[in-house]
Amino acid sequence: MTTNRTPATRRPVRWHTGGPGAAQRLLGRLRDRAREQQRAEAHRLLEADLRGLWREACAGVGLCQYIDVATGMTVRTPKFGALRLGPAGTSFTVEQLPGGEPDDITRHAARLAHSLGFAGLRVQPLAGRWLRVVLFEVDPLASTFRLPDDVIGRADAPVLLGRAEDGSLVEHVLASPGHIAVQGQNGSGKSQLSYGLTAQCAAAADVLVTGSDITGLLLGRAWDGTAHREWQVTGSRDLVAHAEHLDRLVAWMDTRLDAMPPRRDSVTPTVQTPLVLVVLEEFPGLLRAAQAKDRKLAERITSAVLRLLSEGRKAAFRVLMLAQRFEANAVGGGYARDQFAVRVSFRVPAESLAMLHGDDARPLGPEHANAAPGIAYLSAPGHDCTRLRAPYLGGYGAFCDRIARHGRRPDTDQEDAA
């Protein structure tokens, strides 16, 4: 028996909920999925390559442990975790070796980064033994950067010293204990750092920029009309005036120490008792000129500076000394040089670098002897020979403009130190 059946009409498969352009949307989604798979595969390959390079680089710089097992000697390096790619750059997590510290990686940062094909890296602690390594495609020290048009309003606010080779900003709080020593050859960037530092604190109500400057550039006419000017002595014609001014600062310091309240061992900067920043520009030149004129005058100047260095911390006095070389006999002796907690060296001979920063900096000397202008080494609490680039304020005219714009005007509420 036969049966006549009408074949069912085949209905088209619906890949969409309706509307025009559904097929194009479907193709778009398929293409996006294919691109995502390609990106995932590329990410996996890059992660595998960096993992291998990281292991080889760590072994090459000695950041590893040699373990003797039955099958032979094996090398253990900090464990490469997960790679992250994003707008912020390239980074990956690392598990440190037992007993390891982030500084172990930071110490070899330049060599490790170059082995990975990058210009530099920064280490960010995460939790436990894990940390994040952030890679830089451009050397942060390779180009200059402008000093922001910012000023501090208080002595306990940080001033900008420069940008480190890991891209982070290096700052210093003037109110924290520690005098500042800056050395460098002519044209190395020493003046730019001093311009920027003093310009940043010129407006603070509880900071007074004082000192001695035989060049008359860092201190002097640029500060006319400000509250700081009467506490600054410049030029080399009247060397006795420099000695008298330093004695005046010492007398002010003694007055503060004598008036120290009970149960207190230091002065907190206020508007009435400001932090006194004593700038000594080209201090070795001042000593040489004084010695040529009168040896007793040179001893008088040296004695005043030694007292400011040794006792100034308690009285809210901070010394900023600038010199081409920090030889002991040029800055008042080895004792004077040892009082500086913050030490910055621009381009200087290798021996001069070790002279100021210690023997740990000696291996860095040959390279730093040819450093580009603006590149410096910093030794300070929390910073062990950190390379940085000082911010660029501009020419001398720009420095004068900033002091004229931001310099604090005379205020009758200031402490009467005369």
Residues flagged as binding site for ATP: 184-191
CA distances from 281 to 133, 180, 307 (A): 40, 12, 18
Span of 8-12, 193-197, 275-279 with lowest mean pLDDT: 8-12
The pair of three-digit structure tokens given for residue 88, joined into one six-digit string:
């912020």
The predicted model gives 317-326 an average pLDDT of 96
Dist. CA 393–CA 399, nearest whole Å: 7
pLDDT-based confidence at residue 1 (cuts at 50, 70, 90): low
The predicted model gives 196-209 an average pLDDT of 96
Over pLDDT 90: what percentage of the chain?
Answer: 64
Dist. CA 358–CA 152, nearest whole Å: 32
- Alpha helices per DSSP H over 210-293: 239-258, 283-293
What superfamily would CATH give domain 158-406?
P-loop containing nucleotide triphosphate hydrolases (3.40.50.300)
Instruction: Tell me what pLDDT residue 364 has.
Output: 84
Give the model confidence (pLDDT) of 345-400 as tens digits: 999 999 999 999 988 888 888 889 999 999 999 999 877 778 899 999 999 999 99
3-state SS string for 61-77 = HCCCEEEEECCEEEEEC
Domain ranges of the chain: 38-136, 158-406
Residue 107 has pLDDT above 90, yes or no: no
Question: Cβ(415)–Cβ(228) under 8 Å?
Answer: no
Give the model confidence (pLDDT) of 43-95 as tens digits: 899 999 999 999 999 999 999 988 887 877 888 999 999 999 887 788 999 99
Closest by CA to 219, choosing from 277, 270, 159, is: 277
Residue 418 has pLDDT above 50, yes or no: no
Mutual orientation of helices 190-200 and 396-406 as an angle, nearest 10°?
Answer: 10
pLDDT-based confidence at residue 14 (cuts at 50, 70, 90): low
Question: Cβ(235)–Cβ(214) under 8 Å?
Answer: yes
The amino acid at 4: N
The predicted model gives 327-335 an average pLDDT of 89
CATH architecture, domain 38-136: 2-Layer Sandwich (3.30)
Residues flagged as binding site: 184-191
Buried b (16+ CB within 10 A) or exposed e, 272-289: ebbbbbbbbbbbbebbeb
158-406 shares the fold of 38-136: no
